[in-house]
Structure 1
Amino acid sequence: IYGDPGGGTDPGPSDACEVTYRVTNAWGDGFQADVRLTNTGTAAWDGWSLAWSFPDGRRIAHLWNGTHTQSGTSVTVRNADWNRAVAPGASVAFGFTASGPSAEATPSVFALGGRECTVK
């Protein structure tokens, strides 16, 4: 997995990424969001790890199509076994529910293996 010692091959400079983040539902103390991660580079990924930070107080409660860890405001989502390989031009998608207001929950920076992705 990118960014993890001993995990997959670290993407090179030609292995770019694009992220689309969309809040799809919101309620008083929580929200649901969908994330699409696209390989805009020239090499296939064999595992991926996407990281971002939330404003204080946002916590992921449930995530599907991947696994996540969260420490304070820092979130990392890793591939599931079945969506590990991502060819150039292909995308993977995952979603989650979280606590906290959605209006201020949209992260502005996402990183794949420590390299910043384009946010769409």
Structure 2
Amino acid sequence: MKAISVQGVGHTLPTGGMAARAITFFGLDGTGTTPPDPEPEPGTCRVGYTTNTWNNGLTATLTLTNTGSAPLTGWPLAFTLPAGRTITSGWGASYSPGSGAVTARGVSYNATLAPGAATQIGFQATHTGNTGNPPAFTLDGTTCSTA
């Protein structure tokens, strides 16, 4: 048996259903197998997107809401930036790559969103005149509604 300790992290399981998942993960329910992460349900996310633009720069604020009935873990949120736009810095998520088809991933404090929960992330970018919104947002390939 192996024990793992992480400094500064409590021992509580904060979201509904996580205790049962932890019991199964460690094989304490007799199955001895680790279940895969659940796939998001269709329509399990909503994204609000606002920008503040100036000459050749902008900031974008995104609000990601879990509208499903299961926690979203890791939430790779994908979107395509308009041509000529490049992310120079961001907050609340890691962004890769900085232009074109971008994926934002949650960071330590917001990587899991309970049902009904939301997190706000954002980035600063340069642009060459096209300040339109990304045409769509997807979470693990499932299209999110927009607000």
TM-score band w.r.t. shorter chain: 0.7 to 0.9
**How far apart are the structure 2 equivalents of 1:76 and 1:111?**
9
Q: What is the match of residue 93 of structure 1?
A: 120
Task: Give the structure 2 partner of residue 69 of structure 1.
Answer: 96
Once residues 99 and 86 of structure 2 are traced to their aligned partners in structure 1, the CA distance between those partners, rounded to angstroms, is 8
Bigger Rg, structure 1 or 2: 2
Deviation digits for residues 63-101 of structure 1 (CA, Å, limit 9, x no counterpart)? 001101026511110000111110000001101100105
Where 1:83 maps in the other structure, the secondary structure is: coil
| Shift, 1:52, TM fit | 0.4
Aligned CA distance change for structure 1 residues 112 and 69 (closer, same or farther; 3 Å): same
The reply on whether 1:118 has 2:145 as its aligned counterpart is: yes
When residues 102 and 38 of structure 1 are mapped into structure 2, their CA distance, relative to the original with a 3 A threshold, is farther
Which residue of the other structure, out of 49, 71, 77, is the alignment partner of 1:21? 49
User: 2: CA distance between counterparts of 1:63 and 1:72?
Assistant: 13
* TM-score normalized with structure 1 length: 0.84
Whether 2:47 is the aligned partner of 1:11: answer no
The answer to whether the 8 Å contact 2:66/2:117 transfers is yes
Residue 46 of structure 1: CA displacement?
2.0
RMSD of the TM alignment (CA)?
1.9
List alignment gaps of at least 5 residues for structure 1: 1-7
Q: Give the % identical residues.
A: 34
- Equivalence map 1:32-43=2 (5 Å): 32-43=59-70
Higher relative contact order (CA 8 A, sep 6+): 1
Tell me how far 1:111 sits from its aligned partner.
0.3
Unaligned ranges ≥5, structure 2: 1-35
Structure 1 stretches of at least 4 aligned residues deviating more than 4 Å after TM superposition:
none
Number of positions where the alignment pairs a residue of Structure 1 with one of Structure 2:
112
